[in-house]
Structure 1
Amino acid sequence: MSKGLKVAVIGGGSSYTPELIEGFIKRYHELPVEELYLVDIEKGREKLTIVGDLAKRMFDKAGIPIKLRITLDRREAIKGADFVITQIRVGLLEARARDEHIPLRYNCIGQETTGTGGLAKALRTIPVVLDICKDIEELAPDATLLNFTNPAGILTEAVLKHTNVKTIGLCNIPIGTKMQIAKLCKTDASNVFIEMAGINHLNWTTKVVVGGKDITNEVLSKASGETGLTMKNVPDFGWEQSFLEALGALPCAYHRYFYMKETMLEEQLEAVKTKGTRATIVQKVESELFELYKDQSLDSKPPQLQERGGAYYSEAALDLISSIYNNRGDIQTVNVMNNGIISCLPDDVSVEVNCVIDAQGAHPIQLTAPIPPQIRGLLQVVKAYEELAVKAGVTGDYEAAIQALTIHPLVGSVNLAKQIVDDIIEENKSYLPQFEKKAHQTN
């Protein structure tokens, strides 16, 4: 690529955007972005204006000649773009709060992307993302879509199966895990190589190499009981050493919902009585962040943004864009179509694995060892849930939604699944056009 880049950020009014802006400033020498469009919907106009003003101050302070465009016109933003980044929340944080509360009514874990909450969010978001993809197909057919929107694996799979858009799903957990392991081993992250295998938010680190030496067993020993190997929105209860050694891999933070189900549920039920769900906390953090962003003297990313939980978000996004633009051929862990990389899963599903990143996109690397049964069992079940979630999200198939939750380890009951799906549909009517017929039937 020789011309200056055009990048469109869908959901530009997000509180995460200053993190992204900082990344574009730091990488300008390797990523000559000419135009950066921040686009949002009418409901997000005020936040978009606040974030856009802060972004302009950040660019001005850095002396970076990126033309910043703030708009509610998505098609204008997408037209001719080289990269489109999606970081949207359909239904805003109010919908997230519902996603977390609905399952708790039935003594099931309420979490934004895992289980019931993930299904609700996927059902609302899939139609919007597919609509965005129609614009990309028409107005920027050569663009690469980088999807940061959760549940990232499900949305990436929907795009891969139902559009012609070049897409890569992205999450900050892989890069965060690498940074945490580097800290654990008291070394620089550049010295660390990790092999990851699984799906988004259900990913295992199966191999750790530092300075050319395989130290996987040492890391598993050090990680047992270690605090800090988690994310902002996932409580850290530690792992038992014997469990990690038998598993033979380091689970990601979200595995706690599966491996420590009773403890996590108990923590949530207790928290909802006092401080509320994670959505309540995030609403407070967001409110405080936007008050900071309004300050006309602020011209850099505030440190309080770390409380939002998006650590290394910018680094993950800009690493990927730079490697594609500069044809680097380096290795990153992203969400792509399986195509036989994980042999126990279908070829046409999304997986989160190590990939070589070059000008043609992301190319999955064959795993160095087969998936053992203690990982395979959970992986296959949750992937089947995701396949059904995609079907329900695209077509409005009510029975597919029920089947999805019936087999999910955090629900696992057809009676519960039906009640929860009915609640999801009832409380998200305006966001579920694909379920319109079912919504009328339940009235």
Structure 2
Amino acid sequence: MKLALLGGGGFRVPLVFRTLLADTSPGRVTELRLVDTDPARLRTMSSILETMSAGRADVPRILLFTDLREAVRGVDFVFSALRVGGTRGRALDEQIAQQVGLLGQETTGFGGISYALRGLPTALDIARTIAEVNPEAWLINFTNPAGIVTEASRAILGDRVIGICDSPIGLARRALGALESAGLAPAGTTAATGLGDSPVRLDYIGLNHLGWLQGLEVDGTDLMPALLARPDLLERTEEGRLFGADWVRTLGCLPNEYLHYYYFARETVAADADADLTRGRFLLGQQDAFFTEAAGSPERAAELWEATRRRREETYMATNREAAGGMERDEADLESGGYDKVALAIMHAIAHDRPAQLILNVANGSQVDFLPPDAVIEVPCTVDANGATAHQVSPVPVHGRGLVHTVKTVERTVIAAVQERSRDLAVEALALHPLIDGVGVARKALALAEDAFPELAYLR
């Protein structure tokens, strides 16, 4: 298989390559095309990948591209992991949000909408290019906000676009790990969950970064009631500690970690305000230092990358954990990745008709009765040579229906704003979001974003 990785100079590329190296199966990826607009970062990533593959046989051939059309020509799959505006853009979103008293997280609320407004034009250009140059290719989207980007891209490429995220898989694994530790799930259940042919059936539904795990069926038995009955086991999971066992039991299911921004909005905004650095500013400084040092010492690039990656994972959602009273991440969660294994499972499933069960971002169809059929939702699917087919799962929890409907309305309004180049629709999307309290602050935040980001000059 041939794979083009868009955002090939991005920091997390070695995670994808590590997974490709571990794959020795027939039909594995034999050519990896790294695609980026920054040649210097491409060279740094190439150095790291060369070090990772040193002394190994049958490694993927690595090619570097700055031209999108040439990069996607003739490949089987395109993996999109872009950040339009870079980490600096994320830091600016957080700064603007703090100026107007809003949450600045990059995929939720103001940050997510701002990110989508500047990133969607590029995502749509990518989809149009693939449709023109290589319409038989499959697009695996990891570019955030993943639900919005996947839905907009589907309007051009249809079912050949599949959105991925690692947070639902991490949630399910942590839940099963807690059950395994108490002998309530068979040993080894956790490891393969959500990545392919696992016998575990996950009852999960929602939108990207806004979903709920309602069931964990192992050998025909739903283990969720056993988990909810044990506060001590719930608090062995990151979500149990983040939300508190009492709140999880009130909900009657396990919420995706990103719902913390909704359920504990004031606490998180306050923790962000008190932090020495926002997440984006921390990552900006960290990655600038890494790329500078790695460029000067290419022989140490892989070592520097691993140390930087480790620190990045240790500080993931740090202000949320601070808002929850302070908690450290479990060692298992510091390994990072997950999306890379999902992407590999999708490629093998489609290219070699090797069915896999995965949680993905796909078209709703009739699954969620209050959303349009073409709205993208996040749900367990079976993937094979024909693409992804959603499983029938429990309805959206009653307590989450209004939130899902409102956020999906916001997402579709953002897409319309980009397609119509409409500032009024951009304001509407911001004002309707549950984490943005009013039209006035929406207008002010958008005006600040337009001043900060030349990418938003298309709005009229």
> TM-score, structure 1 length as denominator?
0.89
Query: What is the aligned partner in structure 2 of residue 213 from structure 1?
Result: 221
- Is 1:90 the equivalent of 2:97? no
Query: What is the aligned partner in structure 2 of residue 441 from structure 1?
Result: none
Structure 2 CA distance for aligned equivalents of residues 299 and 417 of structure 1: 43
Query: What is the aligned partner in structure 1 of residue 317 from structure 2?
Result: none
Q: Once the two structures are superposed, what CA deviation does each residue of 1:4-51 show, in whole Å capped at 9, x if it has no partner?
A: x1110011001101111111111132443232100100xx22111010
Q: 2:96 aligns with which of 97, 102, 112?
A: 102
Q: How far did residue 137 of structure 1 move?
A: 0.8
Query: What is the aligned partner in structure 2 of residue 203 from structure 1?
Result: 211
1:401 maps to a residue whose letter is A
Alignment of 1:219-234 (within 5 A): 219-222=227-230, 226=235, 228-229=237-238
C-alpha RMSD of the superposition: 2.2
Query: What is the aligned partner in structure 1 of residue 395 from structure 2?
Result: 370
Given that residues 126 and 394 in structure 1 are in contact (C-alpha distance below 8 angstroms), is that contact kept between their aligned partners in structure 2?
no
- Structure 2 SS opposite 1:110: coil
- Structure 2 SS opposite 1:70: strand
Q: How far did residue 176 of structure 1 move?
A: 1.4
- Is 1:424 the equivalent of 2:424? no
Given that residues 6 and 36 in structure 2 are in contact (C-alpha distance below 8 angstroms), is that contact kept between their aligned partners in structure 1?
yes
- Structure 1 SS opposite 2:372: coil
2:147 maps to a residue whose letter is G
Given that residues 345 and 356 in structure 2 are in contact (C-alpha distance below 8 angstroms), is that contact kept between their aligned partners in structure 1?
no
- Is 1:352 the equivalent of 2:360? no
Larger CA deviation: 166-175 vs 187-196: 187-196
Structure 2 CA distance for aligned equivalents of residues 399 and 350 of structure 1: 24
Given that residues 19 and 313 in structure 1 are in contact (C-alpha distance below 8 angstroms), is that contact kept between their aligned partners in structure 2?
no
Q: 2:201 aligns with which of 193, 196, 221?
A: 193
Structure 2 CA distance for aligned equivalents of residues 311 and 183 of structure 1: 17
Q: How far did residue 192 of structure 1 move?
A: 4.1
Q: 2:366 aligns with which of 336, 340, 343?
A: 340
Q: How far did residue 200 of structure 1 move?
A: 0.3
- Is 1:27 the equivalent of 2:23? yes
Q: How far did residue 164 of structure 1 move?
A: 4.7
1:123 maps to a residue whose letter is L
Q: How far did residue 297 of structure 1 move?
A: 5.5
Given that residues 61 and 299 in structure 1 are in contact (C-alpha distance below 8 angstroms), is that contact kept between their aligned partners in structure 2?
no
Q: How far did residue 305 of structure 1 move?
A: 2.0
Aligned length: 420
- Is 1:249 the equivalent of 2:253? yes
1:252 maps to a residue whose letter is N
Query: What is the aligned partner in structure 1 of residue 458 from structure 2?
Result: 434
- Structure 1 SS opposite 2:30: strand
Q: Once the two structures are superposed, what CA deviation does each residue of 1:82-125 show, in whole Å capped at 9, x if it has no partner?
A: 10011111111111111111121121111111000000100111
Given that residues 153 and 335 in structure 1 are in contact (C-alpha distance below 8 angstroms), is that contact kept between their aligned partners in structure 2?
yes
Q: Once the two structures are superposed, what CA deviation does each residue of 1:341-392 show, in whole Å capped at 9, x if it has no partner?
A: 111211111100011100111111122x332320111111111111111111
Larger CA deviation: 281-290 vs 155-164: 281-290
Query: What is the aligned partner in structure 2 of residue 390 from structure 1?
Result: 415
1:349 maps to a residue whose letter is A
Structure 1 CA distance for aligned equivalents of residues 286 and 300 of structure 2: 20
Given that residues 136 and 143 in structure 1 are in contact (C-alpha distance below 8 angstroms), is that contact kept between their aligned partners in structure 2?
yes
Given that residues 176 and 311 in structure 1 are in contact (C-alpha distance below 8 angstroms), is that contact kept between their aligned partners in structure 2?
no
Structure 2 CA distance for aligned equivalents of residues 146 and 185 of structure 1: 32
Larger CA deviation: 203-212 vs 280-289: 280-289
Q: How far did residue 434 of structure 1 move?
A: 2.7
Going from structure 1 to structure 2, the CA distance change for 1:178 and 1:240 (only over 3 Å counts) comes to closer
Query: What is the aligned partner in structure 2 of residue 296 from structure 1?
Result: 299
Going from structure 1 to structure 2, the CA distance change for 1:34 and 1:331 (only over 3 Å counts) comes to same
Given that residues 175 and 316 in structure 1 are in contact (C-alpha distance below 8 angstroms), is that contact kept between their aligned partners in structure 2?
no
Given that residues 83 and 146 in structure 1 are in contact (C-alpha distance below 8 angstroms), is that contact kept between their aligned partners in structure 2?
yes
Structure 1 CA distance for aligned equivalents of residues 355 and 175 of structure 2: 23
Structure 1 CA distance for aligned equivalents of residues 231 and 289 of structure 2: 34
Structure 2 CA distance for aligned equivalents of residues 185 and 170 of structure 1: 26
Unmatched segments (≥5 aa) in structure 1: 231-235, 439-443
Going from structure 1 to structure 2, the CA distance change for 1:324 and 1:163 (only over 3 Å counts) comes to closer
Larger CA deviation: 161-170 vs 392-401: 161-170
Q: How far did residue 407 of structure 1 move?
A: 1.5
Given that residues 292 and 298 in structure 1 are in contact (C-alpha distance below 8 angstroms), is that contact kept between their aligned partners in structure 2?
yes
Going from structure 1 to structure 2, the CA distance change for 1:218 and 1:239 (only over 3 Å counts) comes to farther
Q: How far did residue 277 of structure 1 move?
A: 0.5
Unmatched segments (≥5 aa) in structure 2: 181-186, 193-198, 314-335
> TM-score, structure 2 length as denominator?
0.86
Structure 2 CA distance for aligned equivalents of residues 21 and 223 of structure 1: 39
Q: 2:39 aligns with which of 45, 60, 63?
A: 45
Q: Once the two structures are superposed, what CA deviation does each residue of 1:262-284 show, in whole Å capped at 9, x if it has no partner?
A: 1111111111xx2x110122123
Query: What is the aligned partner in structure 2 of residue 157 from structure 1?
Result: 151
Q: How far did residue 217 of structure 1 move?
A: 2.0
- Is 1:261 the equivalent of 2:254? no
Larger CA deviation: 146-155 vs 60-69: 60-69
Q: Once the two structures are superposed, what CA deviation does each residue of 1:305-363 show, in whole Å capped at 9, x if it has no partner?
A: 24434432322221222222221222100001111111121111110001110011111
- Structure 2 SS opposite 1:158: helix
1:361 maps to a residue whose letter is G
Query: What is the aligned partner in structure 2 of residue 143 from structure 1?
Result: 137
Going from structure 1 to structure 2, the CA distance change for 1:341 and 1:61 (only over 3 Å counts) comes to farther
Structure 1 CA distance for aligned equivalents of residues 28 and 101 of structure 2: 51
- Structure 2 SS opposite 1:238: helix
Query: What is the aligned partner in structure 2 of residue 73 from structure 1?
Result: 67
- Structure 1 SS opposite 2:407: helix
Structure 2 CA distance for aligned equivalents of residues 240 and 257 of structure 1: 14
Q: How far did residue 252 of structure 1 move?
A: 0.6
Going from structure 1 to structure 2, the CA distance change for 1:50 and 1:163 (only over 3 Å counts) comes to same
Q: How far did residue 288 of structure 1 move?
A: 5.1
Query: What is the aligned partner in structure 2 of residue 239 from structure 1?
Result: 243
Q: How far did residue 59 of structure 1 move?
A: 2.7
